Chains A and B, each alone.
Chain A
């Protein structure tokens, strides 16, 4: 609340923070304009600055190789300041004023739900390159981030098998945390475990001693941490200093906010995260990606899964436009409907699912060790984003433009 209030007045001061990456000379045709709305300041900046850099890297590579279908790529970048209202403002601006062909936008699920109606209203096309709570069935959206059937259906059963059946969830109190917690609840239940506690923390809260005490008082075998933003990340330090000592499981930590790099060991030890990419992944594809990235941005603190997803999204978009021969959205969706839009990227081969317009992922189980190094006890290859399709979302047939959850599935027809 305090953040939005203070930023509210700050609109004028920072609204001009737009940058244009000019295309190189020598292109005969008009540029393809790509809007980039990401948080370069505010509570989420630590995790999202790198997304902008990944998009810039991909744009540079694409332009150096002759552009998309012979047309140069031009980025229109705005800083959304971790503020949902900035998303709405800038989404209108890129779609109406800048007339971009596609938008890459959003970190928090609150921001995505804030801008999605505007994308629908102007019938634009947006890529959401973030892991999230799943369920968005919207023809105007292409999602490259991982979803619960990829992150939780793998992680939670593995944790329960390894550590025990009693689960305590602490989650950020907004749509992402609430819906993710619902997924965790359901998966724990399906696997015969029990929820010994569930707590929702307002965004921006940084003091956790009561929460820590509640966890200690419960019989939890492990804690699912779905905390979001820099303020909430203070939990780990405080839990470690109170010696909670329980294993933690998460879909958002490490892979986004590189907490294992920012905090002093061993505060994050025994943290398990399912992610589709982090810079510690030691494959030739990942190494090649890191090398290119560090060559262009030597100062980058951490290259996270959203950076990889943004980079992949740029290349998927290039492929879609080149195969369709146009940037027109319905033509691109016809290409997606063919079901073979895939890309060999930093995280291996990924493909777009025509029914949900979400992406398949190889999911790595990252474990934070005592010294905050990362090991990978388990890898799940090529997990499709199956839940939406199985539940009845089929964007090749109709477009409900809605978000579904396990307790609110698509209507049967």
Chain B
């Protein structure tokens, strides 16, 4: 029993770090990893999802629906942003950094001015469970399940639906897809919207556990960029294994040496990966496979 409790404690910490990395990076993995747009407004899409989730939940909507609402609104906002700004910058990656960063500043400051410096939280549901002599938040287990479900769902979407195949084709060979009659602009728009919606979903899922402030997206940014950079262009052979490795590094360093070393470990891992395998894990895995 003693052993089981200790093992559960470790697994819980690992799962918690894994869930945070996967959920926070999913949207970015699509926008940055697949589409190649360095989206500095990723955190603000997360904030958007969290704010919509919190306000709809406080209006009485059940939490799961409120989270979907948050994802939906973030997705719609994402598609608007794509149409108005990003669409014109696909061939200009450096300009897209400035543009998305500007959007992020406008969003943070705009929310601060319109909605004030904080928003009331909604409280974490589901209470706690006892394992051994310790208690754990049950909602965190839901988050871990959500992370796994998210990966499975995305795999299904990109490899077993018409939209997924067309999206991958469009992003890999835009001219070819266009020649075959695909409306590439629409596909780009939808894919960007999907990425934004996933960011919104991250915000919605974490909204009940966090402080609601306009800058809350910033706390996700480092983790999500690190995961995507380590992972490389592919979500499934890249971001997912990257999240596993980084979660193990982070959870163990945090457990042994504290939060500061958890963060340091994460950043050192990126530097090593960029140096050793510039294409990230996915390029490396695909390379060894061939």
Contact = CB atoms under 8 A, between A and B. Distances in A.
Interface string B117-161: 111111110111000011111111000000000000000000000
Contacts of B9: 213
Interface string B32-54: 00000000100000000000000
A301 B259 contact: no
B20 A262 contact: no
B218 A45 contact: no
B121 A241 contact: no
Contact of A262 (B120, B218, B251, B262): B120
Nearest to A10: B105
A237 B219 contact: no
Contacts of B17: 207
Interface in A186-217: 199-202, 204-207, 209-211, 213, 216-217
Contact of B128 (A14, A211, A243): A243
Nearest to A265: B123
B137 A241 contact: yes
A262 B101 contact: no
Given A2-B222, A301-B118, A209 B16 contact: yes
Interface in B202-230: 208-216, 218-219, 221-222
B16 A207 contact: yes
B54 to A, nearest CB: 10
A6 B16 CA distance: 27
B117 A205 contact: no
B260 A173 contact: yes
B284 interface: no
B62 interface: no
B12 interface: yes
Given A240-B124, A243-B127, A206 B211 contact: yes
A242 B135 contact: yes
A122 interface: no
Given A2-B222, A42-B215, A230-B215, A213 B260 contact: no
Nearest to B135: A243
A262 B211 contact: yes
B184 interface: no
A213 B255 CA distance: 9
Contact of B218 (A13, A204, A242): A204
Interface string A356-381: 00000000000000000000000000
A294 interface: no
B258 interface: yes
A14 B109 contact: yes
A3 B112 contact: no
Interface in A1-41: 1-3, 6, 9-10, 13-14, 41
B134 A217 contact: yes
Contacts, number: 142
**Most A Cβ at <10 Å: residue of B9, B124, B135, B211:** B211
Nearest to B136: A242
B134 to A, nearest CB: 5
Contacts of B122: 264
A405 interface: no
B221 A41 contact: no
A5 to B, nearest CB: 10
A231 B216 contact: yes
B124 A41 contact: no
Contacts of B108: 41
B260 A200 contact: yes
A241 B209 contact: yes
Contacts of B117: 41, 45-46, 49, 301
A234 B210 contact: yes
A176 to B, nearest CB: 16
Contacts of A14: 105, 109
Given A210-B13, A264-B123, A301 B116 contact: yes
Contacts of A267: 123-124
Contact of A263 (B123, B134, B139): B123
A233 interface: yes
Given A2-B222, A206-B219, A263-B121, A231 B211 contact: yes
B259 A262 contact: no
A196 B273 CA distance: 38
B160 to A, nearest CB: 33
Contacts of A299: 116
Interface in B68-110: 101-102, 104-105, 108-109
B254 interface: yes
B55 interface: no
Given A173-B259, A201-B259, A230-B118, 15 more contacts: A3-B218, A9-B101, A45-B213, A200-B259, A204-B219, A207-B20, A209-B140, A210-B251, A230-B213, A238-B124, A241-B138, A242-B135, A262-B121, A264-B120, A301-B116
21 contacts: A3-B215, A41-B109, A46-B117, A199-B259, A200-B258, A201-B259, A206-B211, A213-B13, A217-B134, A230-B211, A234-B211, A241-B124, A241-B137, A242-B140, A245-B135, A262-B119, A262-B211, A263-B121, A263-B123, A301-B116, A301-B118
